[in-house]
Chain A
């Protein structure tokens, strides 16, 4: 399927398709309706004509699906996925199953649902299924999902949950799901390390005029132990590593001489 700038090849294909369908249709109209055949032969002839008409229709549709063109007529091109997301879809070499849970009352949820369907039409290796848990509670329950705007990505036996309405983040999720090698980052404790559960509560100095309680001011205030907490948060934020806190291998003291 072609997408984005005007594709004259796709338009030419569609024009040719229209012409071919029109020619076949008007040729079909000229087929004789009454024949001098016996009733049995006439019945067989009619059955053959109907079967041929159905076959032509099926082939015509298959031909068009193979050269499908997407035209986004909206002003802000809201149904046009980002180039980054499209590249991920184009680069797929193995099937990825994406099940997206959205709320049909939520405009942003509906938008990403439509965008995902655009992406799925781009490459048949991306199999998209959209579920509104309010309308399809059984399907949502089967996945054990109680969230809106969340995608479950399945590649082979690997599963990954991404919660977002941004197709670029979902595309990154696809890349993560495709990555067979799992990078494990371990945080050790109990050996005088800085605390890993530091959540940067000290982001500002109380009493200073116009001080902020938001994270925005954290870059100006540095406290001992912030680094490790920031690293952990950064890993979660970038989602480039699985953020499940599974036990690490036992810590082995390396003897130094």
Chain B
């Protein structure tokens, strides 16, 4: 456990000591702040639904930027061999990188809570819908990070890792648009793989245990695959 915690500390420091985390968080908050202000002044609705959808859309682009370097950089620099020969388990390496990435994204998403506070001070927002929206964002982020980890573990090229992760993430996000053209049996399968279809109930204030389970099981599966991918060394 001590080895895992020191590994986690190293990963968190690596992310927060680099400018990447601050640039990503800064750009994200600037875009969301602009969108929040404009929408609030135009619509006068005390809701964050649009912020949740826009945040989800930005996560599809931001997460690959964070995850692309996690293994690919270490593999290219040759430090991955060093890390894997250290007395730590591969699973600890994967989990440490996952939790460190989630810490960055959690801070990023958490800071948008200021918008909810503003709504709470000047209006009467529906807090239930806000809580479920944040839960949905965290679950979506965890799924995207775990997918990014798998891709990063498979290549030593960061650009390839980022582009492939973006491709997979966007495909999973909008795969339900194909459903309308598919036969009934395939339609349901396609919709069940859609990140957008799974995320929408959370963003609007309704939750399903199956959606929660989908994000959780996909995350765990991807983390497991990332660990197996490390065995390719």
Contact = CB atoms under 8 A, between A and B. Distances in A.
A75 B131 CA distance: 12
Given A21-B217, A49-B228, A75-B128, 12 more contacts: A10-B209, A14-B209, A57-B220, A61-B213, A64-B209, A64-B213, A64-B214, A71-B207, A73-B131, A75-B129, A79-B201, A129-B180
A65 B228 contact: no
B192 interface: yes
B70 to A, nearest CB: 18
Interface string B183-219: 0100000001000000011001111111001101110
Contacts of B184: 127
Interface in B153-180: 180
A70 B207 contact: yes
A69 B208 contact: yes
Nearest to A46: B228
- Closest 9 pairs (CB-CB, A-B): A73-B128, A33-B231, A74-B205, A79-B206, A64-B213, A29-B91, A69-B209, A68-B210, A71-B207
Interface size band for A: 35 or more
Contact of B210 (A49, A64, A118): A64
Contacts of A75: 126-129
Contacts of A54: 221
19 contacts: A10-B209, A21-B216, A25-B220, A25-B224, A28-B224, A33-B228, A34-B231, A50-B228, A53-B224, A68-B210, A71-B207, A75-B126, A75-B127, A75-B129, A76-B126, A79-B205, A79-B206, A114-B200, A118-B206
Nearest to A129: B180
Interface of A: 10, 14, 17-18, 21, 25, 28-29, 33-34, 46, 49-50, 53-54, 57, 60-61, 64-65, 67-76, 78-79, 110, 114, 118, 121, 127, 129, 136, 139
B90 interface: yes
B119 interface: no
A136 B208 contact: no
Given A69-B209, A74-B126, A79-B204, A60 B224 contact: no
A139 B179 CA distance: 12
Interface of B: 89-91, 126-129, 131-132, 180, 184, 192, 200-201, 204-210, 213-214, 216-218, 220-221, 223-225, 227-228, 230-231
B213 A29 contact: no
Nearest to A33: B231
Contacts of A118: 206
A53 B209 CA distance: 21
Nearest to B181: A139
Given A73-B131, A74-B128, A33 B227 contact: yes
B180 A139 contact: yes
Nearest to B230: A33
Output the residue of A28, A29, A75, A129 with the most chain B CB within 10 A: A29
Contact of B206 (A46, A57, A73): A73
B204 A114 contact: yes
A54 B228 CA distance: 13
A2 to B, nearest CB: 9
A33 B205 contact: no
A28 B222 CA distance: 12
B174 to A, nearest CB: 12
A114 B49 CA distance: 14
A76 B192 CA distance: 28
A64 B214 CA distance: 9
Output the residue of A50, A72, A121 with the most chain B CB within 10 A: A72
A73 B224 contact: no
A96 to B, nearest CB: 13
Given A10-B209, A64-B210, A29 B224 contact: yes
Contact of B225 (A33, A53, A79): A53
Contacts of A64: 209-210, 213-214
Contact of A33 (B90, B127, B129, B180): B90
Nearest to B133: A73
B227 A29 contact: yes
A66 to B, nearest CB: 9
Output the residue of B180, B209, B213, B224 with the most chain A CB within 10 A: B209
B221 A57 contact: yes
A198 to B, nearest CB: 45
Contacts of B227: 29, 33
